[in-house]
Each structure stands twice: as structure tokens, then as C-alpha cells.
Amino acid sequence: MRAYRFKALSNLDDLHEHEEEMPKPQRGELLLRVHAVSLNFRDLAMVLGRYVQAAKAGLVPVSDAAAEVVAVGESVEIYQPGDRVIGAFHPRWFGGPMPATSISDSYGSGRDGWLTEFKVVSQEAVVPLPDSLSYEEGATLPCAAATAWYALAGQTPIRAGHIVLTLGTGGVSIFALQLAKALGARVIATTSSASKADKLRALGADEVVNYREVHAWGARVRELTGGRGVDRVIEVGGPATINESLRAVAVGGEIVLIGFLGEDNPGIDYFDLKRTNGIIRSVSVGDRTNLEDVVRAVSTTGLKPVIDRVFAFEDAKAAFAHLQSGRHIGKIVIRVQPC
């Protein structure tokens, strides 16, 4: 079988395709034929030395995939050959507090990921893929959709009448926009271009702020809410955007820390932080139950994941380069098995 590995973690040229032995499922395991994977910024951050956790070189990259069950090991009763599944981002976080092994369990940084033609995993590490979703669509859900859903939940789940702020047009932000609208919320989005703004409005954004034209976009967002601020900020920018997010959030609102796309780090203004009288919550995708919930929500509402572009398995390096360019809207998918 063919698989990709990052020989080192210095640049995209470290990604190489290899011929490897076909894995065999043991007791409680599934042999999967991987049909599609999707990329997340974390997959790139590891290579660029910007990931928040330690990452090992030599691993198969990518955390998100949709696959078909080819064979099952002894004592597997949940699945059978032919079933369609998607992998859980955290293969051993089933509920409750995050397990202490989450870092070593992490696909692409602590263990081999999914950019391979076949993979063996525990039967508990996957969830069913609904018939309403293609493999390419299903591959977008494990990280981006699950993270967006988890961010919209919390002590005060988003519901009709709430206002949500999303940043940019990456996978988490687009899913947060779509899911928040499905819940009946008003959504304000930020972006850097008029063409992306048009796309955001087409997806349901009620207002869009161009942060290249409006540098103090936090104040502008507050103006759009009549001075109140937003109930939830889906904060994917990190240190470069957190101060504006603090200015945009309502008193008692919530900022959910997810990403770290920006490199600038001006520091956090403590008084802005204190003035929010709100909640700052950091999330790491969520457990398997959260993934099952968002899969059910996507399937029930008919929500269609926004896929920017699908690359062939042979063009995996080009897919990573497209992610690095930042020109995408939504998710970037690699089709592992030809249609």
C-alpha cells in the first residue's frame, strides 16, 4: 500500500510517498480502506514548527478521514465489511475529561495519521458515516465540524437570538457559521477580501467586516450589535486577533480559543480581559460523543460541508501548499481512492 510520511519537520519538501506493508487487524480492530482525508492548519503547523504540542518526525500526517471497513478483527461486533466510517480526532476520548494520553494519541503528531491507503484502528475510534454524506464530505467533519460544534456548546449553548462572531474562511469558521445559522443565531463574520465576503453572505452571514479595511474590527462588530457585543467569539486567529475579539465580545459573553493562525503577538490587555466579565474557554475538538452529535446535526439539517478543492492522492504536497497559501474557503480534501 502507499502512504505518505514527513521525513523531517522543516518544510513541505519533507513529505514523501512510501510503499508499506498492508496492516492486519487484531482483536477489536478494523482494517479500513481510506477514501478521503481533509487538511487542518495543525497539519501544516507541525511542519512549520508552530504547533502548540511536540510533534514527532517520520509519521504519517493528517488527523481527519472517511473510510470503508475492509476487514474486522476478532470480537468486533459494531461494524462489518462495507460499512462507511469517519475517524474520531481523539481516538480514545469517549467522554468526560480529556485523557492524559491525548497528546501521544494525536494523529500526525504522536502517532501515524490517515494519509495512507489502508489503516488499522480500534472499533471505538470511528463513528458511522451517514448515507447522506460522501466520503469527501465526511472527511471534513472530525476536526473542523466537531470543533465548531463544541465551541457553540458549553455552559450556555448557542440558540436562536444569540450573536456569534466568526473569523475568516477556514474550515472551523465556515462550519461555525453554518451550524450557528442552523441553530437560529445571528452571525457576524470577518474576512480580508470582497470576494470572500460575498461567499460568507451566501452561506448565511448576516454582516461581514473586512479586517483589512477596518483595523479596529472589534469596535465595528460592537457597533453592529448596537453596542452590546457578541455572545460567542469563535477565536481561530490566536495572539494576532485576541485583543479585537475581547473588544467585540459582550459583557458576560464567551471567547472560545481554538486556533493560532496569526503570527503577530502584541500581548493581551489585562484590563480588556477583565472588562469582559466573561468566559475564556480553550477547546481541543471534543470527544467522540461530540463528533456523533455534529454528524447527526449535519445529516439531519442537510448542511453541506464547504469543500474548497479536492486533490488527488498523488498531489498531496500540492494540497498542503494550497492550505499554506491561505486562499481557500472551507476545507481542502485529498481523495485517497479514485472514484
Cell of 300: 439531519
Pairing outcome for strands 207-210 and 230-235: unpaired
Q: Grid cell 441553530 — which residue?
A: 183
- Across 280-304, average pLDDT: 95
- Any alpha helices (H) in the chain, and if so which ranges? 41-48, 102-105, 135-138, 146-152, 171-182, 194-202, 217-224, 242-248, 270-275, 288-301, 316-325
Residue 300 included in any domain: no
pLDDT bracket for residue 263 (50, 70, 90): low
Total number of domains in the chain: 2
**Quick one: pLDDT at residue 264?**
67
* Confidence (pLDDT) at 274: 84
Q: Is the dihedral of CA 56, 58, 62, 68 positive or negative?
A: negative
C-beta of residue 217 within 8 angstroms of C-beta of residue 244: yes
Q: What is the mean pLDDT of residues 29-37?
A: 98
Q: pLDDT-based confidence at 339, cuts 50/70/90?
A: low
CATH of the domain at 310: 3.90.180.10
Is the pLDDT score of 261 beyond 90?
Answer: no
- Rounded Cα distance between 177 and 188, Å, is 9
Residues 170 and 86 in one domain: no
| 165: containing domain | 146-282
Work out the pLDDT band at 154, boundaries 50, 70, 90.
confident
Q: Is residue 293 part of a domain?
A: no
Indicate whether 136 belongs to any domain.
Answer: yes
267 confidence band (pLDDT: 50, 70, 90): confident
Non-local (6+) Cβ contacts of 326 within 8 A are none
Angle of CA points 198, 166, 192, to nearest 5°:
45
> Which CATH number does the domain housing residue 151 bear?
3.40.50.720
As given in the structure block, the three cell numbers for residue 152 are 457553540
**Same domain, yes or no, for 107 and 181?**
no
User: What does the pLDDT average to over 36-58?
Assistant: 91
Find residue 298's DSSP bridge partners: none
Residue 325 inside a domain? The answer is yes
Does residue 317 share a domain with residue 240? no
Identify the residue whose cell numbers are 500500500: 1
For residue range 203-259, what is the model confidence (pLDDT) as tens digits?
Answer: 999 999 999 999 999 999 999 999 999 999 999 998 889 999 999 999 999 999 998
**Predicted confidence (pLDDT) at residue 22 exceeds the cutoff of 70:** yes
Q: Are residues 173 and 50 in the same domain?
A: no
Q: What is the mean pLDDT of the chain?
A: 94
The residue whose grid cell reads 460568507 is 200
**Whole-model pTM over 0.75:** yes
Spatial separation of the C-alpha atoms in residues 221 and 68, rounded to whole Å: 44
Q: What letter represents residue 78's amino acid? A: I
Residue 118 confidence (pLDDT): 98
SS (H, E, C) 286-327: CCHHHHHHHHHHHHHHCCCCCEEEEEEHHHHHHHHHHHHHCC
The reply to whether 274 and 313 lie within a common domain is no
What distance in Å separates the CA atoms of residue 222 and residue 229, rounded to the nearest whole number?
5
Please count the other Cβ atoms lying within 10 Å of the Cβ belonging to residue 71. 16
Q: For residue 276, what pLDDT band results from cuts at 50, 70 and 90?
A: confident
State the Cα–Cα distance between residues 132 and 202, nearest whole angstrom.
Answer: 22
Question: Do residues 125 and 152 both lie within one domain?
Answer: no
290 located within any domain: no
Burial class (CB in 10 A: 0-12, 13-18, 19+), 76: middle
Same domain? 278 vs 318:
no
